[in-house]
A and B are shown apart, each in its own frame.
Chain A
Amino acid sequence: MAINWFKYSAPTTFYGLAGKLIPWFAVSAAVLCIVGLYIGFVVAPADAQQGEFYRIIFIHVPSSILSMFLYLIMAAYAAMGLIFNTRLSSMMASAIAPTGALFAFISLWTGALWGKPMWGAWWVWDARLTSELILLFLYLGFISLHASIDDPRRADRAAALLAIVGSVNVPIIYFSVKWWNTLHQGSTIKFTGTSMHIAMQQAMFTMLVACWLYAITVTLMRVRSIILERERHTKWITELAEVKS
């Protein structure tokens, strides 16, 4: 039987699919989040060097990882939208951007909370912190460029070009910042990850999966709203049960 791989690349069919998938992702994200936080805060022992403060990594590390991956995924979707001129890819890109920016912000915020007791400063001009901050700027640039162009198709294409330029530039920025830091300050205090306790690993991994599921849930919800907004003049939208009522 021939499978139509492109069936769900149309907003019409994807809207329904996303609606069916959202509850599954949402429930599993919530369950894994509770489990992960339980293991992280109750089961896992206190760290030998950092005491209780280290527990912030169960939120900090997953959100840092996600903020970086989401930028790549967003740029990939944007590039697909630009190259193949598919509407849904561009919608996905603009649906991912706010979540990515949120995770970048959470990562910076929790990092600051951890840095105050551990390093004695809310902010250190370390290479990692600086590049995360620049990543947040790139997200904000993408969002604000998209927001300031009225024609959604032109906005998609302009923002896509920016996302691609950004993703090409990210490695250059990262290495220049890293080098800048090592030139000036020498090595700063880094998280000395001596063999982690098994419960810590479990908690971190569970939280990572939970954050992924949360990101997918929110992106699907947002892309559904974008589809509704952009296709509001089409017939199939007016025939939807939730629109009629």
Chain B
Amino acid sequence: MKKLSLFSLLMLVVRRDLVLAMRRRADVLTTLIFFVMVVSLFPLGVGPEMGMLRKMAPGVLWVAALLASMLSLGRLFSADYLDGTLEQMLLAPQSLSVLVLGKMASHWMVSGLPLVLMTPVLGLQFDMSIQAIGVLILGLLLGTPILSMVGAIGAALTLGLRGGGVLLSLLVLPLCIPVLIFGTGAVEAVTSGLSVSSHLSLMGALLVLALVFTPWVTAQALRISME
């Protein structure tokens, strides 16, 4: 067998997962529809007053993105777990952390990126300014990968458990609070005329931290779950 470089290994996993996701487009769409629906429920719940909606918009969009990513996390490892692919991945001579990183990346492309692309439309529904929407998208671009990566730890820990979906949210949501705070904080800052760089820098720092540590922790969690 030819020895793969780490990068081509990563690309291989990403491509495989993307192909699998494209074969089951309904799953991808469900997450997106859920996101749009949760966001659209808020004006119905709190009333159509534009001033209040404009103020709430970043928080609502972020919380909805958080919930939508929880929804899709359960599928991150379960299909591979059920058909035995995951076991082969654990046995593979290649680094499990890199395989996991590939799965995280494709999970983000399938469940995080569509939400980010959908955000401008929803932002306009809430009468946000163009500038605020831009910052919101930038924050989501930095933040949703963190949700996928931290969520992967929870998904690996709850693999194959009964009631895993609810448990997963219980474990992961508290850990995602900083992302929520910095993401909405950046939009608040730009609407009140302050600099957004501090919030976005912190978010970038969190992204780098997550990128370094979460693949390894997730790999450990998978080993615990599969032993």
Contacts and interface: CB of A to CB of B under 8 A. Distances in A.
A225 B118 CA distance: 53
Contacts of A173: 174-175, 177-178
A111 interface: no
Contacts of B188: 183-184
A145 to B, nearest CB: 6
Interface stretch (B63-71, B78-86, B153-161): B153-161
Interface in A112-141: 134, 137-138, 140-141
A82 to B, nearest CB: 9
Interface in A134-186: 134, 137-138, 140-141, 144-145, 148-149, 154, 157-158, 161-162, 165-166, 168-169, 172-173, 176-177, 179-180, 183-184
A177 B181 contact: yes
Interface residues of A, number: 26
Interface string B147-189: 0000001000110011110010011011101100110010010
Given A148-B162, A158-B225, A161-B224, A134 B174 contact: yes
B70 to A, nearest CB: 13
B171 to A, nearest CB: 5
A162 B227 contact: no
Interface in A169-218: 169, 172-173, 176-177, 179-180, 183-184
B209 to A, nearest CB: 8
A154 B225 contact: yes
Contacts, number: 68
Contacts of B185: 179-180, 183
A114 B158 CA distance: 39
Contacts of A138: 174
Contact size range, B: 20 to 34
- For the residues of B in contact with A, the DSSP-based class is helix
B220 A161 contact: yes
Contacts of A157: 224
Interface in B170-227: 170-171, 173-175, 177-178, 181-182, 185, 188, 202, 206, 213, 217, 220-221, 224-225, 227
A172 B178 contact: yes
A148 B161 contact: yes
Nearest to A183: B185
B161 A176 contact: no
User: Which of B153, B167, B213 has the most A CB atoms < 10 Å from its CB?
Assistant: B167
A134 B174 CA distance: 6
Contacts of A145: 157-158, 167, 171
Contacts of A172: 178, 206
Contacts of B171: 141, 145, 162
A198 B182 CA distance: 43
A22 to B, nearest CB: 32
A162 B177 CA distance: 16
A169 B146 CA distance: 13
A137 B170 CA distance: 8
Nearest to B227: A154
B177 A161 contact: no
Contacts of B178: 169, 172-173, 176
Nearest to A142: B171
Interface of B: 153, 157-158, 161-164, 167, 170-171, 173-175, 177-178, 181-182, 185, 188, 202, 206, 213, 217, 220-221, 224-225, 227
30 contacts: A137-B173, A137-B174, A141-B171, A144-B170, A145-B157, A145-B167, A145-B171, A148-B161, A154-B225, A157-B224, A158-B157, A158-B221, A158-B224, A158-B225, A161-B157, A162-B171, A165-B175, A165-B217, A166-B175, A168-B213, A169-B178, A173-B175, A173-B177, A176-B177, A176-B202, A177-B181, A179-B181, A180-B181, A180-B185, A183-B185
